[in-house]
Copies of this chain bind each other. A is one copy, B any other.
C-alpha cells in the first residue's frame, strides 16, 4: 500500500480539481476515480463563499486535500502561498509548485529546492512538482520532501511520459514515493507510469476536459490499478526477436496421422 509521510493511501490515483465544467461534475468524477488525494489551488478554497466552496462538494473524511501553490513564480511567493493554504485549509500537506514562466508552467529547480527546505522547516509535508531531473530528486529527498512529483510532459499537453528514461532513474534511486505528474493524457499513459514502478500518478486535465469526465475518471482508476498489478506481477522484457506463442512444429503430420489413421 502507498504510504506518504506515514499516511496510508489505498488509491494510487491523485486527481486535480481544475478545469471541470462544474463543482458537481468535479465531485462526481473524483468519487468515480476512487482518489483519496485531491489537489486544490488556493483560490478554489473560496473562504468568502463557503456554499460554493470546493470543500463542500468533497467528503473530507475519505479524501485527503493537497493544496498547491499554483501561480507562485519563485520560492518566496510559494512559501507565502503555502502558509495561506495551511491557514485556509487546516492541513500542512502541500503540493509545491514554483513556475516562473506562465507560458510553459515548467518548474524552477533551484527555487523549488529552496522552498522545500524552508517549508519542511516550518512543519509542512512537502510534495514538490519538479522536472524529471534525477539529481534534483535526490536533493529534494535530502531536503525532507515527503514524495517527489516529476513531470511526464508539460502540463495540459496530454503527451504522456515523454521523460520515461529519467523517471526510471528517479524511481530506481528514490527513498520516498514517486508520483508522476503532468502530461498524463490517457489511461494508457497512467498504466505505463505504474508499470515503470511509479508509486502514484496525478491526473487533472485529461479527466476534467473529457467528453464524459465521470467515465474517464473510472477509466483512469482501472488503468492505474492495472499498471500497478502488472508491476507487481512481473512484466516480461521487450525484445527485438520474435518468439512463437503456439508450437510451430510437427503438428501437420501428427494430426493428419490421427485423423486419417
Check A104–B235 contact: CB distance below 8 A: no
Inter-chain CA distance A9–B155, complex, in Å, is: 37
- How many residues on chain A are close to B (CB under 8 Å)? 112
* A246 at the binding interface (Cβ < 8 Å): yes
Check A104–B229 contact: CB distance below 8 A: no
* A177 at the binding interface (Cβ < 8 Å): no
Residues on B with beta carbons closer than 8 Å to the beta carbon of A211: 233-234
Inter-chain CA distance A210–B220, complex, in Å, is: 23
Closest to A235 in B: B186
Residues on B with beta carbons closer than 8 Å to the beta carbon of A205: 236, 243, 245
* A218 at the binding interface (Cβ < 8 Å): yes
Residues on B with beta carbons closer than 8 Å to the beta carbon of A155: 242-245
Residues on B with beta carbons closer than 8 Å to the beta carbon of A6: none
Inter-chain CA distance A200–B95, complex, in Å, is: 37
Pairs A-B, 6 closest by C-beta atoms: A211-B234, A156-B243, A70-B246, A41-B246, A215-B233, A188-B191
A-B contact pairs, 11 of them (CB 8 A): A42-B251, A71-B247, A72-B252, A77-B252, A81-B251, A81-B252, A88-B259, A109-B136, A131-B166, A165-B240, A188-B191
Contacts beyond the supplied A191-B191, A216-B233: 7 A-B pairs with Cβ under 8 Å: A101-B138, A110-B139, A206-B235, A210-B230, A211-B234, A216-B229, A222-B223
Residues of A within 8 A of B (CB): 16, 18-19, 39, 41-44, 47-48, 68, 70-72, 77, 80-81, 84, 87-88, 97, 99-110, 113, 131, 133-136, 138-139, 153-160, 162-163, 165-166, 168-169, 173, 185-189, 191-192, 195, 204-206, 208-213, 215-216, 218-223, 225-227, 229-230, 232-252, 254-256, 258-259
